[in-house]
Amino acid sequence: VVFYSLDRICIGSQCVISQKTYLCTGSHDIQDPAFGLQTAPITIGNGAWVATDCFVGLGVTIGANTVVGARSSVFGDLPAARVCLGTPCRPRYPRSLESKTRYIS
């Protein structure tokens, strides 16, 4: 995982950020002749899973319990409890969470 942290990166509890994922809080303003630097934080909600080889751009918020499919490119906010994928990444369907109780013997 690469954290290009020119701004804050906030990751909630019980999250998974899989291998080869790139979290990028900085970019350049292509409208600026000086190509000025822009930064904005990334926030990943509790219980989210960002699967392998994803790109998450500056200013993005990924909602709690959301899954980002492998090799997706996230350039905008994603709602909570959805399965999202693609380039650009978009919500596809709700994520149903079943309560599971684990017993330790």
Catalytic residues, by residue number, are: 28
Cα 2 to chain centroid distance, Å, stands at 12
| Surface-to-core class of residue 39, CB atoms within 10 Å of its CB (0-12 exposed, 13-18 middle, 19+ buried) | middle
